[in-house]
Amino acid sequence: MDGVLADVYEQFFRLDEKTTGTRKTVASVVGILEHDAFQNGLQHVLSDGFFRTAPVMKDSQAILQQLNKHYEVFIVSSATEFPKSLAEKQAWLGEYFPFISWKQMVFCGSKTIIQADIMIDDHFKNLDYFNGETILFTQPHNQLADAGRHTRVNTWEEISKILL
Amino acid sequence: MDGVLADVYEQFFRLDEKTTGTRKTVASVVGILEHDAFQNGLQHVLSDGFFRTAPVMKDSQAILQQLNKHYEVFIVSSATEFPKSLAEKQAWLGEYFPFISWKQMVFCGSKTIIQADIMIDDHFKNLDYFNGETILFTQPHNQLADAGRHTRVNTWEEISKILL
């Protein structure tokens, strides 16, 4: 969800600009995990509304809606580390992805327990443990890394070309 | 979680007694799903605190703590159907099972996406889709059913004898 459907970097850029008065460049955060790339990063994550008001990743709504017609889609989100995020994330999905039912939502800590055919994620720590086809969604923190056995995509358009 | 760690039937018995003035017998609810067995069952589930104040299943705390030393334990709970339950369930686990970290929690809709070696559950709809070893925890709604390929247990003591 974060870094694939929810544009959490954009959320960080906006909150960081509010605090510091200047907007960071993408180049300045490349290769750094979100929490570390922004001043008070963890405080932003813990603040009310961080997940509820996150911008939606470009093209994700229309393409996921198509995928949802052809695949059995589950949204699996790391959420239990920040307990307040659970309700915010479910409400956010309800607003922007209303075609995803409660049966298709999974809020967890570790994703090693997930079994499926294809995983789209921005973190190696999730993809590396997954047995099926793995698609690495480019985000600043993984941009410099070798994708290894995973298929790297930079946009939802690219996901559409692979899966639809 | 519900019907294995959380004694939701006891919660229903208590709430139902408050409403009707008399406590139902277990015999009167055998073979019936909780929502249907109690008057206003769904209203109880939707009310604030239903999951947060559920009683703990007998012996589950001590035995799960032992299991947690010998197995990689995950608590997988159907929760997204009732969005308010997410925060209540995580807080409940934190109070009664503090040795379970956020990394070990999964709140979902369907459990068909879960991959593990052993599943302990009170519902056939979860156990029947699971590829590993399956343990059916007796609850009034499943009491009359043939366990089929699943191993039926009536208490946490029996789980302890099988797994410890």
Chain B residue closest in CA terms to A119: B113
ipTM for the complex shown: 0.95
Beta carbons within 8 Å of B18's beta carbon, 6+ residues apart? none
Q: What is the mean predicted confidence (pLDDT) over B72-96?
A: 96
d(CA B113, CA B76): 11
d(CA A46, CA B123): 36
d(CA B66, CA B160): 9
Give the mutation candidate from B115, B118, B130 for the A interface (greatest A CB count, under 10 A): B115
pLDDT tens digits, A95-134: 999 999 999 999 999 999 999 999 999 999 999 999 999 9
Residue A105 pairs in a beta bridge with A75
Tell me which DSSP letter residue B119 carries: E
Say yes or no to pLDDT of B36 above 90: no
Q: What is the mean predicted confidence (pLDDT) over A49-63?
A: 98
Contact B83 A91 (CB under 8 A): yes
Q: What is the pLDDT of residue A33?
A: 84
pLDDT tens digits, B100-136: 999 999 999 999 999 999 999 999 999 999 999 999 9
Contact A83 B102 (CB under 8 A): yes
Give the mutation candidate from B86, B101, B114 for the A interface (greatest A CB count, under 10 A): B86
Q: What is the pLDDT of residue B34?
A: 81
Residue in A84, A104, A114 nearest the CB of B109: A104
Residues in chain B closer than 8 A to A106 (CB atoms): 106-109, 113
Phi, psi of A79 (to 5 degrees): -145, -30
Beta carbons within 8 Å of B107's beta carbon, 6+ residues apart? A79, A80, A86, A106, A107, A108, B77, B79, B80, B86, B89, B90
d(CA A80, CA B49): 19
By percentage, how much of chain A surpasses pLDDT 70?
A: 100
Residues 82-111 of A with CB under 8 A from B: 83-84, 86-87, 90-91, 101-110
Residues in chain B closer than 8 A to A91 (CB atoms): 83
Q: What is the mean predicted confidence (pLDDT) over A13-35?
A: 91
Q: What is the mean predicted confidence (pLDDT) over B59-77?
A: 98
Q: What is the pTM of this model?
A: 0.95
d(CA A57, CA A93): 12
Residue B107 pairs in a beta bridge with A107, B77
Say yes or no to pLDDT of A35 above 90: no
Give the mutation candidate from B72, B84, B95, B103 for the A interface (greatest A CB count, under 10 A): B103
What's the mean per-residue pLDDT of chain A? 96
Q: What is the pLDDT of residue B144?
A: 95
Q: What is the pLDDT of residue A24?
A: 94
Q: What is the pLDDT of residue A139?
A: 96
Say yes or no to pLDDT of A2 above 90: yes
* Alpha carbon distance, N-terminus to C-terminus of chain A: 20
Tell me which DSSP letter residue B32 carries: S
pLDDT tens digits, B135-158: 999 999 999 999 999 999 999 999
Say yes or no to pLDDT of B35 above 90: no
